[in-house]
Amino acid sequence: MTGMQLIFLIAAAVVVSSAFMSVTSRRMIHAALWFVLALLGVAVIYALLEVSFFAVVQVLVYVGAIAILIIFATMLTRRALEDHGKQFNRATLMTLVIVSVIFAGLVFSLRSWPQLQSMTAPLSADQLDVGVLGLALTAPDGFALPFEVTSILLLAALIGSIYVAYERKEKKK
């Protein structure tokens, strides 16, 4: 076993266990904190894949923004369902069975796939360059359109969620 494999295994164990904790813990804020740990583990996985840009963006966007937003929302809605009452549906056992079947199916279908064992060499300096991605994102025959569309998507999300969440002052008076 090489050092890299060891790091992968540790990171994977952290990701899986904290993801499990985050879907099962009773208090929502704990779930959110476990979620953060899982995200950090995923960032380590990205770093092992040598996609540094995504590793950092994972921390920046998920931990720095999405997780904080989730914690804010938890704080705003925390009177309901906190520490009392059942946190889960009745179908827990049933779901466990279904999910295990899906996992087994995934593993089974993967087993027959020829490229399963494929290995890869370390990336060259050219492939590590984030600028290549930038060029591809702005080239008209590349991904310029999806790139602009993402900004429209975010604009829609911003306007929509401000419209939904913002307290209308007139209504209150």
Partner 1 sequence: MIPLYWYLLLAALLFCIGLFGVITRKNAVGILISIELMLNAANINLLAFWRYLYSDTGDLRGQVFVIIIFVVAAAEAAVGLAMIISAYRQKQTVVANEIDSMKG
Partner 2 sequence: MNFIYDPVPWVINWLTQLLLSWGLSENFVTTLLYLIGAVLICLGAMLFTTMLIWAERKIGGRFQDRLGPNRVGPWGIFQSIADMLKIFTKEYINPVGIDKIPFNLAPVLAVAAVLAVWAVIPFSQTVFGSNINVGILYIIAIGGLGEMAIILAGFGSNNKYALLGAFRAVAQLISYEVPMVIVLLIPVMFSGSMGLNEIVQAQTIPFIVYAPVACIIFFICSIAENGRAPFDLLEADSELVAGYNIEYSGLKFGMFFVADFLHAFTSAIVFTTIFLGGWQGPGVEQIPVLGGAYMLIKTLLVYFLMLAIRFTVPRFRIDQMMALNWKILTPLALVTVVVTALVDKAIPHEMTVIRIGALLVVNLIIWLLADRMITIYRKRNPVQVVTGKLRPLARPEFLSVAEKETAQ
Partner 3 sequence: MLNEWLYLGIFLIIALAIPAAALLIAGMLSPKKPNPIKDSTYECGMETVGVSWVQFKVQYYIYGLIFLVFDVEIVLLYPWAVAYNKVALFGVIELILFVAILASGLLYAWRKGALEWV
> What H or E segment, with its residue span, contains residue 76?
helix 67-76
Restricting to residues 87-126, name those near partner 2 by CB under 8 A. Answer: none
51: left (phi over 0), alpha (psi -120 to 50) or beta: beta
Report CA-CA distances (Å) from 37 to 14, 76, 104: 8, 22, 26
In the complex, the smallest distance separating the C-beta of residue 139 from partner 1, rounded to whole angstroms, is: 10
Q: In the 3-class helix/strand/coil scheme, how is 91-146 assigned residue by residue?
A: CHHHHHHHHHHHHHHHHHHHHCCHHHHCCCCCCCHHHHCHHHHHHHHHCCCCCHHH
89 binds, among partner 1, partner 2, partner 3, none (CB under 5 to 8 A by kind): partner 1
Q: Which is closer to partner 1, CB of 115 or CB of 170?
A: 115
Binding-residue pattern over the window 55 to 74 for partner 2, x denoting contact by CB under 8 A: xxx-xx--xxx-xx--xx--
Name the one range near partner 3 by CB under 8 A: 12-20, 64-72, 86-94, 101-109: 64-72
Restricting to residues 55-84, name those near partner 1 by CB under 8 A. Answer: 57, 61-62, 65-66, 69-70, 72-74, 76-77, 79-81
Q: In the 3-class helix/strand/coil scheme, how is 3-49 assigned residue by residue?
A: HHHHHHHHHHHHHHHHHHHHHHCCCHHHHHHHHHHHHHHHHHHHHHC
Measured distance CA(38)–CA(32) in Å, rounded = 10
> What H or E segment, with its residue span, contains residue 164?
helix 144-165
44 binds, among partner 2, partner 3, partner 1, none (CB under 5 to 8 A by kind): partner 3
Residues at the interface with partner 2 (CB under 8 A): 3, 29, 33, 36, 52-53, 55-57, 59-60, 63-65, 67-68, 71-72, 75, 128-131
Residues at the interface with partner 3 (CB under 8 A): 4, 7, 44, 47-48, 50, 52-53, 55, 57, 60-61, 64-66, 68-69, 72-73, 75-76, 78-79, 82, 122-123, 128-135, 137-138, 140, 144, 147-148, 150-152, 154-155, 157-159, 161-163, 165-167, 169
